[in-house]
Chain A
Amino acid sequence: MLRLLATIRKEWQLLLRDKTGIILLFIMPVVLITVMALIQDAPFKDYQDIRFDILTVDNDHGRLGRSVKEGLASGGQFNIIDSLDGQPVTAERAKQLVNEGKYKISIIIPAGATAAIVSNANRIVNDITHRMGMSVSLPVKKVPDSLNVTIYFDPAAKKAFKGAIHQSVDNFLTQLETDMLISRIKQQLQRKDSTVTATDTLAIRLQAVGLKEQSTGTAKQLDVISNSVQHNVPAWSIFAMFFIVIPIAGNMIREREDGSLLRMKLIPGSYLAILAGKMLFFVGVCVLQFYLMMLVGIYVLPLLDLPQLVMGQHPGATLLVAGGIGLAATAYGILIGTVFKTPNQALNFGAISIVILSAIGGIWIPLEVMPARMQLLGHLSPLSWGLDAINDIYLRNGDVGFVWKNVLRLILTGLAMLAIAGWVEKRRMN
């Protein structure tokens, strides 16, 4: 125990005097997450928050036009643009602008569209009342057979995007048609039975079964969406934690070069206790780094007009994951410090390998947007296990039961790397 505690204190003294190490461990990561969150803020918004301009040409000037425009505008995703430079947009101009890529969508509501819907509703009601033996006849206009709402899409628009727009416009159409029909039926019923007042007409509702979106997270509701901060802060924190391999490897190689390792080996007692002390210290540093970065996400990034980081509701699970990442990173540092002979070799290999592991592990861009084969490879990176576990907690509100598999992976990998380091060290002695 004394060996372990003494080693922790010694590492602390060494770190305090290693200004470059402190900068690498604490200052650089803060700069890194801030910069990454800032530069990726726009692309992330592109996926979620950006509002699309929709050119609308309302030649109908009736209920349908109003309904489509209000409906699209109410979702918050679209800006309805119906005049340019003070002039109402014409169908021709709209088509041209979309084709040039200046706008992504244009919706053209033809003249007489509302009239056509009204007329259609009237015809149905006439038919029903006629069959019921009543002789009402609402006005029915002769309209051309094919009256269409036209949508123009930017040729580069994605299929899913097109589908979504198509769907919502279709919904507005159907809804309006149904509304009209029901109000006509109500009118006729009222006329037949004058005791029924307008307010307590049969409660004819449009939808018997509704649609409701709900978060899949367990326990309490979390309303967190993956934004630049939610992705970049944990991702680059993990990256920075793994960069601890540089100071650790440097520390180990220096010990070998300056003879202090030799001194330790000359002293009776297990080297394992010394190594455990070293590990514990650096895992502690990693965890400290992690929480420092989380604090930056919560308190500093909002000052830069970025969203605030949300850490989920399971602090215990978060600590466990941070510890697991710290252990894997520290063990990797010890392995590199053991295998390589010079600080330069260790620095180059360590840094490049972490950059590669982070790139395939979904640190730079989320794994989900990578090709399937890269995703498969990415799931082999310890950095991806860490990030997955953090996302489980932060975005899916997972607890320890959610993340234990990834934490176990991190710990086992760490132990395996330590075992290899021990084996290499032993071989070197013989």
Chain B
Amino acid sequence: MSGISVKDLYKTYKGSAEPTLKGLTFQFGKGKIAGLLGPNGAGKTTTISILCGIVRGDSGEVIIHDLKQQAAHREEIKHIIGIVPQQIALYPQLSAVENLTYFGNLYGFKGKPLQQKIMHYLELFGLEKSAHKEIHKYSGGMKRRANIIAAILHNPKLLVLDEPTAGVDVQSRSMILQFLRDYNSQGASILYTSHLLEEAQSLCEEVVIMDAGKMIVQGNPQTLIHQHPDCNNLEDVFLHFTGNALRD
């Protein structure tokens, strides 16, 4: 019973000579907090986009909670999966409540139950005072938090977050991480990407390190550290596998 299974996935963007994904393969179990790690341009965002169905892979197989990602299951998978994109996917000119009401409506929720849910999450994420402030007036950390709420209105069983803690302060980050642990403890699977390896090390039960469109290594962070005696932490493991060369 895999939460996410990716097998031999290939993707070349139109107009680019080099494939972005070259036979990517990995698996995460259900109910886990998993990390997808890799240098800039490794293909993390591309992988996530294929997982949720907004970008099509050229070949290979993707299975989400036992459903194959293909036309027949695309809508069903959207119900299961909640995506927090790398960019803030909200209307900057609208307030948090207006944004969340709109996206909640699109999920089919409405009226008082929706408003209660929105207020609950705004409080949980410390945004209740700014509930009616336009998003473009939010700080970076507030935007990231609002961006997460928009992805969990429908209680997804699988929450996928693309760099949810990029550019946020320590307080926001620890709040977000605590939320992920809590959400996971209610039975949801979580897949997240980050360049902060210390954070990934403490949060994830399972990590995949990928580079240049391929899986390099997969395993439990502690196990990986132990397997490599010269490594003291996940960052050492990461550098061990990906080297020091700068990426485009």
Contacts and interface: CB of A to CB of B under 8 A. Distances in A.
A149 B103 CA distance: 85
Contact of A429 (B54, B85, B89, B108): B54
A313 B172 CA distance: 64
Interface stretch (B31-39, B92-100, B200-208): B92-100
Interface string B43-76: 0000000001011100000000000000000011
A259 B90 contact: yes
Contacts of A429: 54-56
- Which interface residue of A258, A269, A429 has the most chain B CB atoms within 10 A? A258
Contact of A14 (B88, B93, B108): B93
Contact of A2 (B81, B85, B98, B105): B105
Contact of B93 (A18, A266, A430): A18
A430 B11 CA distance: 11
A265 interface: yes
Given A264-B106, A267-B78, A13 B94 contact: yes
Given A259-B85, A263-B85, A268-B79, A17 B93 contact: yes
A258 B88 contact: yes
A151 to B, nearest CB: 70
Given A3-B106, A266-B83, A259 B88 contact: yes
B105 A6 contact: yes
A262 B83 CA distance: 10
A6 B92 CA distance: 17
Contacts of A274: 106
Contacts of B151: 266
B241 interface: no
Contacts of A264: 103, 106
B102 interface: yes
B94 A266 contact: no
B106 A14 contact: no
A10 interface: yes
B235 to A, nearest CB: 30
How many residues of B sit at the interface, in one of the four size bands? 20 to 34
Contact of B54 (A2, A9, A265, A268): A265
A263 B102 CA distance: 11
Interface in A1-34: 2-3, 5-7, 9-10, 13-14, 17-18
A190 interface: no
Nearest to A16: B93
B150 interface: yes
B179 interface: no
Nearest to B86: A259
A13 B134 CA distance: 11
Contacts of A226: none
A6 B114 CA distance: 13
- Which interface residue of A17, A262, A266 has the most chain B CB atoms within 10 A? A266
Contacts, number: 78
Interface residues of A, number: 26
A264 B102 CA distance: 10
Nearest to B75: A268
A258 B89 contact: yes
Interface in B87-140: 87-94, 98, 101-103, 105-108, 110, 134
A309 to B, nearest CB: 36
Contacts of B79: 268
A308 B152 CA distance: 58
B87 A259 contact: yes
Given A265-B54, A268-B79, A6 B91 contact: no
A10 B98 contact: yes
Given A266-B54, A430-B56, A260 B89 contact: yes
A298 to B, nearest CB: 35
Given A258-B88, A260-B90, A267 B54 contact: no
A6 B101 CA distance: 8
A103 B85 CA distance: 77
B74 to A, nearest CB: 8
Contacts of B81: 266
Given A263-B85, A266-B83, A17 B134 contact: yes
Nearest to A271: B106
B54 A6 contact: no
A80 to B, nearest CB: 67
Nearest to B99: A260
Contacts of A7: 102
B108 A269 contact: yes
B89 A269 contact: no
A417 to B, nearest CB: 24
B56 A2 contact: no
B103 A259 contact: no
Nearest to A430: B56
Contact of B106 (A13, A18, A255, A267): A267
25 contacts: A2-B110, A3-B106, A6-B101, A6-B102, A6-B105, A7-B102, A9-B102, A10-B98, A13-B98, A17-B93, A17-B94, A255-B91, A258-B90, A259-B87, A259-B90, A262-B85, A262-B87, A263-B85, A265-B54, A266-B52, A266-B85, A266-B151, A267-B78, A267-B106, A268-B76
Given A2-B110, A6-B106, A259-B88, 5 more contacts: A10-B102, A13-B94, A17-B134, A262-B87, A266-B85
Interface of A: 2-3, 5-7, 9-10, 13-14, 17-18, 255, 258-260, 262-269, 274, 429-430
Nearest 3 CB-CB pairs, A to B?
A259-B89, A6-B105, A268-B78
